[in-house]
Amino acid sequence: MKRKPKIKKQGTPARSGSRSMRLNGYPLSIDFGVGSLKVLQLSGSDQPMISAASQLTTPDDLLASPAKRLLFQMEALPKLISSGKFKTNRAVCMIPVGQMVCKHFQINPIEGVSLEELAGGHLATQIGCDPSALLVRCEVVEGAKSGGKREVIAYAASREFVGRLMGTLKSAKLEPVGIHNDFEALARAIRPRVNGVEDSKPVLVLDMGCSTTNVLIMHGERTVFARSIEHGAMHFDDSICLQLRCTMLEAREIRQSLKVLVPEQASVAVGQSMPGMPPPEDAVEEPKPVSVLRPVGPKVDLRESLEIMTDEVSMCLRYHRSLFPGTPIGRVIFVGGLSKQVSVCEHIARKLNMSAQSVDPLACLGRAGRVPTSGVDLTDAQPGWASVVGGALIPTDL
């Protein structure tokens, strides 16, 4: 019997602060993700409700080809929109993470020069392009220890690519009203709450996707750290392919069925399931018989992929400690498609020594009767929809 992750509600999505959004309704939210193209429409006012949802899964042969995948999704968008029961032509979309740069900078402010211009200059120098070719947004990290400078998170994308996104929306007979990045969408979707009350304690959010893992650290509603790690579900599958000499499709099916990720851990009790990982340090666990936890199927060792993931996340936590010494993070929230695999989340939570939970942002939204869907099963947990939910909730900016 397959073990499924325990998905809990993460409070209620924030109400829109935009008067125009309340008057005009929520726009379509479109996410050109690596694993799939997602479209979501919400309705309602105070309590957002799912009005319609569609998803187009990326063909396996395009997963490792970003340019071909994006072309496939852009060409498929008009048909996906016309076949879905969507009731507005206003739309926002997220910039694909592979087409965006996210960097932290400590900047000395210059009178008359915006932080975006200063950050754009730094970024252009690093990646070797003309600053005018970039669209840059900056988020100031208030309260950070930065030696008198301003700690900022800079999000940048090519002007040409953003124009291409807007052209894609228009070709689908949509009116572009917002272009967002995954991090601001993720922050909007994940509003840390405890018993319905806003939780101001620092929390680590890991959006574990198909090819990347987005790392977000929030102090209540404030984002204080953001970074994209080029390591996701595909890298785990690559490791399985090399070990078993199988196809990517077979590797994905094997990974999803794994209960034990590192072979020698088979003789150790799995312990407490999420949420609530890891157990208290003073807790003593009695080992269970090996036969109880013996994996079924091929023997696979994902130690290297897990170490890469935890090492990269640990570096992010160290940077946060340098900005906010004495402000520890004790909880991690998992979203993204890979978070449906409990064994991966449990392993990472233990290595980070944090309590954890996996979240389904769609579970926070209301539903009026049967929701028209295509390519997605709303009766199953869908943690991979975090960004598209957040994108629908962000006030429009165009």
pLDDT tens profile 183-199: 999 999 987 554 455 66
The answer, yes or no, to whether residue 18 has pLDDT greater than 60, is no
pLDDT for the residue 30: 98
The residue with greater pLDDT, 289 or 44, is 44
What average pLDDT score do residues 373-390 get?
94
Cβ atoms within 10 A of the Cβ of 166, count? 17
Binned at pLDDT 50, 70 and 90, residue 138 comes out as: very high
Closest CA to 349 of 259, 290, 272, 288: 272
Q: Tell me the H-state helices in the chain.
A: 19-24, 66-83, 115-127, 159-171, 182-189, 233-244, 248-257, 290-293, 303-323, 342-352, 386-393
Q: For CA atoms 193, 199, 201, 203, give the dihedral sign.
A: positive
Contact of 79 with 375, CB cutoff 8 Å: no
pLDDT at 19 over 80: no
The string of pLDDT tens digits covering residues 297-325 is 568 999 999 999 999 999 999 999 999 99
- Topology classification of domain 7-393: Nucleotidyltransferase; domain 5 (3.30.420)
Q: Decide if 251 contacts 244 (C-beta within 8 A).
A: yes
Q: CA-based Rg of the chain, rounded to a whole angstrom? A: 21
Of 87, 17, 179, 92, give the one whose Cα is nearest residue 392: 92
What's residue 277's pLDDT? 55
Find residue 193's DSSP bridge partners: 198
For residue 233, which of 327, 168, 305 has the smallest C-alpha distance?
A: 305
Q: Give 15's strand partners.
A: none
DSSP string, 86-104: ----EEEEEEPGGGEEEEE
What's the distance, CA 137 to chain centroid? Answer: 19
Give CA–CA dist 220/201, Å, rounded. 6
Region 55-67 average pLDDT: 94
pLDDT band at 200 (very low <50, low <70, confident <90, very high): confident
pLDDT at 297 (0 to 100): 56
Look at residue 321 in the predicted model and tell me its pLDDT.
96
Q: 328 — phi, psi (to 5°)?
A: -75, 160
Backbone phi, psi, residue 295, to 5°? -65, 150
Task: Find the angle CA(37)-CA(173)-CA(182) to the nearest 5 degrees.
Answer: 35
Residue 64 backbone dihedrals phi, psi, to 5 degrees: -95, 10
> Quick check: 375 and 382 in contact, CB under 8 A?
no
Question: Residue 314 CB: number of other CB atoms within 10 A?
Answer: 12
Place of tokens 């932290």: 104
CA angle 150, 155, 158 (to 5 degrees): 135
| C-alpha distances out from residue 40 to 95, 185, 360, Å | 16, 13, 15
Which residue, among 157, 155, 145, has the nearest Cα to 106 in the 3D structure?
Answer: 145
Which one-letter DSSP state was computed for residue 110?
B
User: Which pair of tokens denotes residue 354?
Assistant: 């944090």
